[in-house]
Amino acid sequence: MQHSHISRRSVLAGAAGLAAGAAGLGVGRASATPRVATAADRFTAITHVTVIDATGAPAQRDMTVLLRGDRILAVEPSRRVGVPPGAQVVDGRGKFLIPGLANMHNHTFDGELIEPPLNIANGITTVREMSANADVTQWRREIAAGTRLGPRYTIGSPIVDGSPSLWEGLGAPYIAVATPAEGRATVRAQKDAGADFVKVYTRLSRASFFAIADEARRQRIPFLGHVSDFVQLTEASDAGLASVEHLFQVFYDLSSREDELRRAITSVPIAGGEYNGWLNKMHPYEYAAARSVDRHKAAGVFARLARNRTRVTPTLVLHTFTDLPGDTPLTDPRYAYVPAATQGFWQFALELIYLNGRTPEQDARGREIYERRLRLVYDLDRAGVPLLAGTDNGTAYLVPGFSLHDELARLAQAGLTNMRVLQTATLEPARYLGARDRGTIERGNVADLVLLDADPLRDIRNTTRINSVVVRGEVIDPAARQRMLDDVRQAAAAQPPAPAPVAARCPC
């Protein structure tokens, strides 16, 4: 339904921009020289919808969200706002509007025909790419130029690990840093190369880790990633680590046995390329740390992280896999969106990296550790530590796009309210990125939106009930979204299987 008027309040809310745009479309005083409307003049109205703006405010029912070009012009009760003539109208009756989602820990492997459309079809409009990737860098340029549809990308450096590195000889891109001077030089080189942040990794020495932290501060580039085996979580937070990726090293700081366990883990011999060995050798120490959490000590650690605004990206979908690899579903209809070569690598990684050398005792301990990780995430949230939703796509059996919704379900399983879960993929990523015009549904913000057929505040799994996606003001309606998914499925099926795995993919 369309209306030929715009209310006085909406005009004031939109300021002069609405008046100018309406004039360009022939609304109001006639112009002597008609002007051709541009994309920036385009009006879209999502009418009679329930708005979940992700600010933490209650859902607002029977609202109209008016867009002009790629911006939100008004968010008003439907009875107060009209729809400009010629506007595209999306009927939101019985539907729920949320901000576009963010995946804050991603590794891209499957190419332009797979990953950008799978992200958009799943409502993901922002992606933090955790390792340098020439393809993604090119996509970002094309997306900015308007020649490709895809999410906004923030792209990091290659993995910056110690020497020897866990990924030595395994094919994953990494930089091995043996000295503090090499660490500082790496930070400068990555900034010059255009990295948005420096990604630090597990086996960095203490001296190299803190040299990188200091140089990153000097160069004004964020550094983030894994907490080194040789550095306390609280030390890393105080040094400016912007976000902690995964939960592998968190329990040690909380343990009543911390000193004893740190002496043990720092003396464990780890050879280059021994990622599987690292998983197996560190397992008993992490288990001991998880079982000896001192609640009073933990409260102090959490308060320190919250005070420093150190984000944590739990990647529970990754930990489901690393803690419980034997439970990995080997069949899933969503695997049809992934090329056979990738599925072949998944099987290789599961058998050679994650199940290789694993004992029944580890399986039992892994189940307990995972349950403790869920409680840890709940405690972090309760203590005010900002959490970011991320998946570690690139790890075996995680399907691009879809896996973010799996992560949201696990965050709800951990005990977060559905609003807080939603904020880990909307408001919190925007705050982390310093993007004041994203992450919530408010006037003036970028029009990245997801229209759902069911209420995510009632059941967070309803984020999968996607009707339409709005990307910078462009509406991907149900038919167009289905075409995107069909095209991805066909592209995946058309790619030949690889004869053997040629490169490692990692929880990194």
pLDDT tens-digit map of 142-166: 999 999 999 999 999 999 999 999 9
Indicate if 149 and 59 belong to the same structural domain.
no
Q: Which among 94, 110, 138 is the end of a domain? A: 94
- The predicted model gives 220-247 an average pLDDT of 98
Q: Given this model, what pLDDT does residue 496 score?
A: 86
In a domain, 188, yes or no: yes
Indicate if 408 and 447 belong to the same structural domain.
yes
Interval 114-134: pLDDT, tens: 999 999 999 999 999 999 999
Indicate if 59 and 152 belong to the same structural domain.
no
Nearest 10 degrees: CA dihedral of 203, 208, 213, 214?
180
In a domain, 3, yes or no: no
Query: What does the alpha-carbon distance between residue 402 and residue 32 come to, in Å, rounded to a whole number?
Result: 51
Domain residue limits at 16: 8-94
Indicate if 180 and 322 belong to the same structural domain.
yes
Query: Residue 248 maps to which CATH number?
Result: 3.20.20.140
pLDDT at 382 over 70: yes
pLDDT at 462 over 50: yes
Indicate if 276 and 355 belong to the same structural domain.
yes
The percentage of residues in the chain with a pLDDT greater than 70, rounded to a whole number, is: 90
Indicate if 87 and 167 belong to the same structural domain.
no
Q: Given this model, what pLDDT does residue 458 score?
A: 98
Interval 7-59: pLDDT, tens: 333 333 333 333 333 333 322 222 333 333 456 679 999 999 999 999 999 99
Q: Given this model, what pLDDT does residue 16 score?
A: 34
pLDDT at 3 over 60: no
* 172 pLDDT tier (thresholds 50, 70, 90): confident
Contact between residue 224 and residue 218 where contact means Cβ atoms under 8 Å apart = no
In a domain, 504, yes or no: no
How crowded is residue 154: how many other Cβ atoms within 10 Å of its Cβ? Answer: 23
Query: Residue 48 maps to which CATH number?
Result: 2.30.40.10
Maximum alpha-carbon separation in the chain: 82
pLDDT at 337 over 70: yes
Q: Which among 79, 94, 109 is the end of a domain? A: 94
Query: What does the alpha-carbon distance between residue 470 and residue 448 come to, in Å, rounded to a whole number?
Result: 5
Q: Which among 94, 119, 154 is the end of a domain? A: 94
In a domain, 499, yes or no: no
Q: What share of the chain is helix, strand, coil (3-state, %, to 5)?
A: 45, 20, 40
Q: Given this model, what pLDDT does residue 22 score?
A: 33
Indicate if 48 and 134 belong to the same structural domain.
no
Number of domains the chain contains: 2
In a domain, 229, yes or no: yes
Interval 362-378: pLDDT, tens: 999 999 999 999 999 99
- The predicted model gives 224-240 an average pLDDT of 98
Contact between residue 123 and residue 389 where contact means Cβ atoms under 8 Å apart = no
Q: Given this model, what pLDDT does residue 506 score?
A: 58
Q: Given this model, what pLDDT does residue 357 score?
A: 87
Indicate if 141 and 196 belong to the same structural domain.
yes
pLDDT at 6 over 70: no
Q: Given this model, what pLDDT does residue 32 score?
A: 33
